[in-house]
Chains A and B, each alone.
Chain A
């Protein structure tokens, strides 16, 4: 490993291409923690946004007018406003309205930190799109399939969980795929509320070394890789869920 790290030091000395994230232990750890933070943030908001999508799409089919209206307002609000403004709204706006508690140093501390707000904000943002994506999938399930489930005694929720959702999922996976890719990229907005994710730590590093072009390149390549892994696993999942003699 040391040979690998030293190679980057030699590279810097020979060419001027400066990548301290490899040869400097402190920067390496700093960068790695940023990468982990990005993955963690992506994973949490990815799962939460899918849950919001599934639940929201279910509520959208409710018999109660007000339930449907609330879901509709939620979608309109989060789809029609910029995600950065939403994040500011949560972190600076909503957070200020919530109670604080006294921390170990005797300061007043908000109950939720930047990371939590970033997760909440990103999940709601992507969740709004996911509701619409799942709705399109649900609408693709034939009414007669629903009736078959109903006549076998399934309740509306039972039919949704056991019959409609599994079928809707298969229909909407490509669209869901796109939205989740966008979500992973949107995690960089957490930079704005000082969540130490990949972009944030990279910013710290290039302020220290003035190696903006190198860091930018690394950053882009890492996102290509991250999104690539996500897309690959989604595609694999899509193939695994393909049904013989059904759909395409």
Chain B
């Protein structure tokens, strides 16, 4: 793999002129941006603007039509892509948590490192317990997903992704399906992660949260990035009319 050429000071995720269509409908019309190691990036925008598609393309859940996406130097838009190499580096958390309902919380966290990465079970178990503690769910290790609240399930899902020791975490509207009171606990977990220096890319509707944790904001509309900038500036003085309108509606 081409990762040998990649060094820490280069962008960890790099998108260049990414295009994606579903049939005749062009969802992404040339997206380019870089994410540096340790950076927290929030992507906002009206629904249907391609935010989720964008984030799904980064770990190859959705194939792009043209352009380039590189994660630690690995070209995602390569027909010979080693998906495992990519997915070891990229963790993903979904709106619907998507825990495996037939396994307990701790088993959910341990499964992939043991079964996919073939790491020794004991070592993974220790790490899994530590991660459960990190997402503030110690004591719930042996509960099945069906016995946990939405917020708790989502935190298990975060722990499950972290167990793979990824370099980048993708969050796809992870609080959109939650009750308002459980949103906080999930956001607190993400904030911890961001403060630990994890590179995070979030698609979110939580503007207050974005303002607080993001290093950089992106606003997408109709498949293009309309505006971007550091959150202070972005929220205080949006330049583009569409950004102004969107922020006006939300806040």
A residues engaging B (CB < 8 A)?
A: 142, 144-145, 147-155, 158, 162-163, 166-167, 170, 243-246
Contact = CB atoms under 8 A, between A and B. Distances in A.
Contact of A145 (B100, B115, B161, B164): B100
B112 interface: yes
A245 B145 contact: yes
Interface of B is mostly: mixed
Interface string B82-111: 011001101110101011111000000001
Contacts of A142: 96, 98
Interface residues of B, number: 29
Interface of A is mostly: helix
B116 A246 contact: no
Given A152-B116, A154-B115, A243-B102, A144 B96 contact: yes
Nearest to A150: B61
A245 to B, nearest CB: 2
B131 to A, nearest CB: 14
B209 interface: no
A152 B115 CA distance: 10
Contact of A152 (B101, B102, B112, B147): B112
A142 to B, nearest CB: 8
B147 A244 contact: yes
Nearest to B116: A153
A147 B161 CA distance: 13
Interface in B44-84: 59, 61, 83-84
B101 A167 contact: yes
11 contacts: A142-B96, A150-B87, A151-B87, A152-B116, A163-B100, A166-B102, A167-B101, A243-B101, A243-B144, A245-B101, A246-B146
